Protein backbone atom coordinates (compact mmCIF):
# COMPACT_ATOMS: atom_id res chain seq x y z
CA UNK A 1 0.00 0.00 0.00
CA UNK A 2 1.34 3.42 -0.91
CA UNK A 3 0.17 6.24 1.34
CA UNK A 4 1.49 9.81 1.17
CA UNK A 5 4.61 8.64 -0.64
CA UNK A 6 5.32 5.86 1.87
CA UNK A 7 5.00 2.24 0.81
CA UNK A 8 3.38 0.38 3.67
CA UNK A 9 3.01 -3.34 4.12
CA UNK A 10 -0.58 -4.54 3.85
CA UNK A 11 -1.11 -5.31 7.54
CA UNK A 12 -4.62 -5.56 9.00
CA UNK A 13 -5.34 -4.32 12.52
CA UNK A 14 -3.88 -6.84 14.90
CA UNK A 15 -6.20 -9.27 16.66
CA UNK A 16 -4.13 -8.63 19.78
CA UNK A 17 -5.89 -5.29 20.27
CA UNK A 18 -9.00 -5.14 22.39
CA UNK A 19 -12.23 -3.55 21.19
CA UNK A 20 -11.45 -0.12 22.66
CA UNK A 21 -7.95 -0.01 21.14
CA UNK A 22 -9.28 -1.01 17.73
CA UNK A 23 -12.03 1.63 17.94
CA UNK A 24 -9.42 4.34 18.58
CA UNK A 25 -6.79 3.09 16.13
CA UNK A 26 -9.17 3.12 13.15
CA UNK A 27 -9.54 6.89 13.67
CA UNK A 28 -5.82 7.25 12.88
CA UNK A 29 -3.84 7.66 9.69
CA UNK A 30 -3.05 4.29 8.01
CA UNK A 31 0.66 4.72 8.81
CA UNK A 32 -0.14 4.77 12.52
CA UNK A 33 -2.47 1.80 12.08
CA UNK A 34 0.32 -0.21 10.45
CA UNK A 35 2.91 0.91 12.99
CA UNK A 36 0.92 -0.06 16.06
CA UNK A 37 -0.35 -3.28 14.48
CA UNK A 38 3.29 -4.29 14.09
CA UNK A 39 4.27 -3.02 17.57
CA UNK A 40 1.52 -4.93 19.41
CA UNK A 41 2.66 -8.24 17.95
CA UNK A 42 5.80 -8.07 20.11
CA UNK A 43 5.04 -5.42 22.75
CA UNK A 44 1.56 -5.48 24.24
CA UNK A 45 0.02 -2.04 24.30
CA UNK A 46 -3.24 -0.18 24.49
CA UNK A 47 -4.40 2.55 22.14
CA UNK A 48 -5.81 5.24 24.38
CA UNK A 49 -6.91 7.80 21.83
CA UNK A 50 -6.68 8.71 18.18
CA UNK A 51 -8.96 11.42 16.82
CA UNK A 52 -10.25 14.04 19.27
CA UNK A 53 -13.32 16.21 18.98
CA UNK A 54 -13.37 19.90 19.92
CA UNK A 55 -14.81 19.37 23.40
CA UNK A 56 -12.17 16.80 24.34
CA UNK A 57 -9.29 18.86 22.95
CA UNK A 58 -10.48 22.00 24.76
CA UNK A 59 -10.88 20.01 27.99
CA UNK A 60 -7.35 18.61 27.74
CA UNK A 61 -5.98 22.10 27.04
CA UNK A 62 -7.81 23.54 30.09
CA UNK A 63 -6.49 20.70 32.28
CA UNK A 64 -2.91 21.21 31.06
CA UNK A 65 -2.82 17.80 29.37
CA UNK A 66 -2.28 19.46 26.00
CA UNK A 67 -0.45 22.61 24.99
CA UNK A 68 -2.62 23.10 21.93
CA UNK A 69 -6.17 24.36 21.52
CA UNK A 70 -8.61 23.00 18.95
CA UNK A 71 -7.93 22.50 16.02
CA UNK A 72 -4.13 22.74 16.29
CA UNK A 73 -3.35 19.27 17.68
CA UNK A 74 -2.51 16.45 15.29
CA UNK A 75 -5.29 14.55 17.10
CA UNK A 76 -7.79 17.02 15.63
CA UNK A 77 -9.47 16.74 12.26
CA UNK A 78 -11.93 19.15 10.72
CA UNK A 79 -13.96 16.70 8.64
CA UNK A 80 -15.58 13.51 9.98
CA UNK A 81 -13.91 11.30 7.35
CA UNK A 82 -10.38 12.62 8.04
CA UNK A 83 -7.95 10.61 10.15
CA UNK A 84 -5.82 11.69 13.09
CA UNK A 85 -2.10 12.22 12.58
CA UNK A 86 -1.49 11.44 16.28
CA UNK A 87 -2.18 8.61 18.67
CA UNK A 88 -1.85 8.11 22.40
CA UNK A 89 -0.63 4.60 23.21
CA UNK A 90 0.76 3.03 26.37
CA UNK A 91 2.33 -0.26 27.39
CA UNK A 92 -0.11 -2.89 28.63
CA UNK A 93 1.52 -5.10 31.24
CA UNK A 94 -0.06 -7.78 33.42
CA UNK A 95 -3.55 -6.88 32.31
CA UNK A 96 -3.43 -3.12 32.75
CA UNK A 97 -2.23 0.11 31.17
CA UNK A 98 1.07 1.19 32.70
CA UNK A 99 1.66 4.93 33.19
CA UNK A 100 5.09 4.64 34.86
CA UNK A 101 7.52 6.94 33.05
CA UNK A 102 10.34 4.39 32.79
CA UNK A 103 7.98 1.85 31.21
CA UNK A 104 6.63 4.52 28.85
CA UNK A 105 10.15 5.45 27.72
CA UNK A 106 11.02 1.77 27.22
CA UNK A 107 7.86 1.32 25.15
CA UNK A 108 8.56 4.52 23.17
CA UNK A 109 11.99 3.23 22.22
CA UNK A 110 10.42 0.12 20.77
CA UNK A 111 7.77 2.13 18.92
CA UNK A 112 10.35 4.52 17.48
CA UNK A 113 12.66 1.71 16.36
CA UNK A 114 9.74 -0.11 14.74
CA UNK A 115 8.62 3.08 12.98
CA UNK A 116 12.16 3.60 11.69
CA UNK A 117 12.24 0.06 10.34
CA UNK A 118 8.94 0.65 8.54
CA UNK A 119 10.07 4.00 7.14
CA UNK A 120 7.41 5.89 9.10
CA UNK A 121 8.62 9.20 10.53
CA UNK A 122 7.21 9.94 13.98
CA UNK A 123 7.75 12.34 16.85
CA UNK A 124 7.43 11.26 20.47
CA UNK A 125 5.86 13.36 23.25
CA UNK A 126 8.75 12.54 25.58
CA UNK A 127 11.32 13.98 23.16
CA UNK A 128 9.58 16.70 21.18
CA UNK A 129 12.74 18.07 19.57
CA UNK A 130 13.98 14.60 18.60
CA UNK A 131 17.48 15.10 20.02
CA UNK A 132 17.25 11.94 22.18
CA UNK A 133 17.77 14.03 25.33
CA UNK A 134 14.69 13.48 27.46
CA UNK A 135 15.86 15.84 30.20
CA UNK A 136 15.49 19.03 28.16
CA UNK A 137 11.72 18.77 27.59
CA UNK A 138 9.36 21.39 28.98
CA UNK A 139 6.18 19.38 28.40
CA UNK A 140 6.00 15.63 28.79
CA UNK A 141 3.33 13.59 27.02
CA UNK A 142 4.79 10.12 27.41
CA UNK A 143 1.99 8.31 25.57
CA UNK A 144 1.86 10.63 22.54
CA UNK A 145 3.15 9.70 19.08
CA UNK A 146 2.56 11.78 15.96
CA UNK A 147 3.51 11.67 12.33
CA UNK A 148 6.24 14.03 11.20
CA UNK A 149 5.36 15.66 7.91
**Partners of residue 84 on adjacent β-strands:** 28
Q: What pLDDT digit, counting tens, does each position of 85-100 carry?
A: 999 999 999 999 999 9
Nearest to 128 by CA among 71, 61, 74, 59: 74
Q: What pLDDT digit, counting tens, does each position of 33-53 carry?
A: 999 999 999 999 999 999 999
Say if residues 121 and 115 touch (Cβ distance below 8 Å).
yes
Which segments of the chain have a pLDDT < 50? Answer: none
pTM flag (> 0.75):
yes
The whole-chain average pLDDT of the chain stands at: 93
CA torsion, ordered 112, 37, 21, 79, to nearest 10 deg: 80
Q: 86-93 and 2-3: which strand pairing?
A: unpaired
| CATH assignment, 2-147 | 3.30.1380.10
Amino acid sequence: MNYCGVTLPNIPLSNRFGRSSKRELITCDPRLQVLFSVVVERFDCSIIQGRRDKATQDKYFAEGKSKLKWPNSKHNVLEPYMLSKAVDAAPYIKGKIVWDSSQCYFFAGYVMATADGLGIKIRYGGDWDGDRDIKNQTFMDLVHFELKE
